[in-house]
Amino acid sequence: MYQEFQKGWIEVITGPMFAGKSEELIRRIRTLRYARKNIICFKPSIDDRYSETSIASHAGGRYKAYPIQKPEEMLNYVTEETDVVAIDEVQFFGESVIPIIDKFASRGIRVMCAGLDMDFRGEPFGVMPTLLAKAEFVTKLSASCKICGDAATRTQRIIDGKPAYYEDPVVLVGASESYEARCRKHHECPHKKQK
């Protein structure tokens, strides 16, 4: 007797900015598209840096996606025919994304998520710790440190040429004008001085 193979699972592509997370997500989507899989892609509407309606990488890769404000909106697009759900910049969604992703995977859908594992402070980012714990497969990418060229695992926020303060807001959508990839040694996030 043949065993039923598991069809649904969660996979996460993570790391700092400029590590190629979106590029890797797009690569996987294109590979699955070639295999004629029914794929639905999503991105948070807050991320309109390179495109409002596509998953877009810093390297120029693009793939059409539905921009959404709330994870619940995904339920309007995913059908019984959906084989794969791809979500870029998943760290920007609230806790309600977790049970939705779980539900999709339990229905036999391959759910591929890409997102920052840490914020600019070097702290776990939003839902990412939970998502990383629940995922069957995790790919952690690194970039190159802007200072020394070593493996960068952190995202450095820059404001007016200086490191952002720990107390600054966590979410600030931007690219190379506001962020750099840094290694542990060169990552800086000072506290504001008390007056």
Which amino acids are annotated catalytic? 89
Which residue bears the tokens 């994304």? 97
| Reduced 3-state DSSP string for the chain | CCCCCCCCEEEEEEECCCCCHHHHHHHHHHHHHHCCCCEEEEEECCCCCCCCCEEECCCCCEEECEEECCHHHHHHCCCCCCCEEEECCHHHCCCCHHHHHHHHHHCCCEEEEEEECECCCCCECCCHHHHHHHCCEEEECCEECCCCCCEECEEEEEECCEECCCCCCCCCCCCCCCEEEECCCCCCCCCCCCC
Quick count: other Cβ atoms within 10 Å of Cβ 34? Answer: 8
Quick count: other Cβ atoms within 10 Å of Cβ 51? Answer: 15
Instruction: Quote the CA–CA distance of 112 and 25 in Å, as a whole number.
Output: 7
